[in-house]
Structure 1
């Protein structure tokens, strides 16, 4: 065993509060999540962003009895698109074709060298629709993916039938509360985070109601990558998404969306990216997400907000029956 792999193994042993025999069996994932299983076959779409050759991973899941409509699922920042598996089944059972991309910089897609921009991610997603010959789709998005969903709906209104924003972030302009944070500082903080620290971060920030075994795959997807020789490149790409959320607010565009839009909020979800870096006096003003969604929906020509009690940020996993009822009812009522 060379010095590098020995150090990686030691790091894994120290980071995991489990028996060494189990820890030794953990194989590092590649930065394209090689080794991490997705629920459906994954395809790749070649793209060029800012002169860089990239590949966008996606799942394209056909229903047994098509209803002629397509749904695009947009993932959040801290999750691979595989976490949409229950929603994919719900939608395909109802007759929808479901397209589930990993955005550039995430999951099994390429990790870019430069910054991320919502305009690029929106163009990439529309390029995927073009590739699949889908003229118009319903967009169902979660967390950071909802910020992207807003950008797509505004930039390409003729490509979006309906918009479902699931526990969205970006319902406020974080620049009003949080001072700019150097990329190097965010990289430093992310790099020293442990697996157990990350679990606690998810539990606190997202008010998770899930049992620990359901959270473990998210921990694995984040921390098994640390064993990859390309981990520094993955880390840079991941941190670029934190700066994306901060630098490119979409809240000012939300009232301008004309498509029928449904916010599905967890009542206990007070996630507010960057809040620890805000002045202490401003932190309590951030993250009132359910109230923000209701206020924004009231400003929209076709907006509606639903709040699910006793639910946090992962609302579609924590309250699946109620979420599915709201989702399908909304899509069907606007056919």
Structure 2
């Protein structure tokens, strides 16, 4: 069965292959299918790939109360327990990156290596609160999830990807998902993100860490990823040029090379071998 329970909440996950486990955590408003381009690349490299739908997303149960990254991190710990895994490589994009950071801070023993992409280390500044207010206002409208998706798609993938065959296919799939999403789930997440701040804890992270970003990301600008990397000892920071927020989709080849390359040149007890920046 591809379901597990945590805190009376049912979660869906997909589990592929054999080998060292890698857990992929998606962003707000997405599902595990956002990692479609990464699963084959990781399987080809010999990894087991585990892809949950976060609470209130995809095939996981809806939310009845606010959900925070720290709360969701506990569910990922439960997923590992459910699968009988002592630890795994944890990869998170955007919201998934926040969950991954909280997980690594709270339970470093279950994290082998950490990869965060286009994420945040705090959302408690006045500008952040304004962004969350804007999201909530958009989501509260009729068909709010769909309208927000349509407005943000160019920011998510970048212009060079939008009109390609792959870009049009991704748009259609994600558009259909947004059309049936329950806006209350997203609003509960937005409520749970208020006050999020792990800045003081980043220096405690000792797992091999890759921080990666797209240099045209206007949702999580590259300066944020560079700040995260500067605060995590011995982390790598890799930028991908000319792409937007969900660059694992719109620049999947570059993203996969970066991800698989990092996992192939690091180990749990050591430090990354190489450092990059864009």
TM-score range, shorter chain: 0.7 to 0.9
Q: Please say if residues 123 and 193 of structure 2, whose CA atoms lie closer than 8 Å, have aligned partners that are also in contact.
A: no
Once the two structures are superposed, residues 183-242 of structure 1 have per-residue CA deviations (whole angstroms, 9 ceiling, x without a partner) of 9963764435484663232214664533333212111101134xxxxxxxx322221111
CA distance in 1, matches of 2:53, 2:215: 27
Query: Match of 2:125?
Result: 175
Structure 2 unpaired stretches of 5+? 268-278
Query: Match of 1:46?
Result: 5
Structure 1 unpaired stretches of 5+? 1-41, 226-233, 272-286
The one of 250, 255, 261 equivalent to 2:203 is: 255
2:102 pairs with 1:151: yes
Q: Secondary structure at the match of 2:194?
A: helix
Output the TM-score relative to the length of structure 2.
0.85
Q: Please say if residues 187 and 236 of structure 1, whose CA atoms lie closer than 8 Å, have aligned partners that are also in contact.
A: no
Query: Match of 2:214?
Result: 266
State the aligned residue count. 261
CA distance in 2, matches of 1:134, 1:194: 35
Query: Match of 1:297?
Result: 229
How much does 1:248 deviate?
A: 2.0
CA distance in 2, matches of 1:196, 1:236: 14
CA distance in 1, matches of 2:143, 2:228: 37
Query: Match of 1:322?
Result: 254
CA distance in 1, matches of 2:33, 2:235: 28
Q: Secondary structure at the match of 1:73?
A: strand
Q: Secondary structure at the match of 1:58?
A: strand
Output the TM-score relative to the length of structure 1.
0.71
CA distance in 2, matches of 1:323, 1:121: 25
Bigger Rg, structure 1 or 2:
1
Query: Match of 1:32?
Result: none
Counterparts of residues 140-219 of structure 1 (less than 5 Å): 140-168=91-119, 170-179=120-129, 186=137, 189-191=140-142, 193=144, 195=146, 198-204=149-155, 207=158, 209-210=161-162, 211-219=167-175
Query: Match of 2:65?
Result: 114
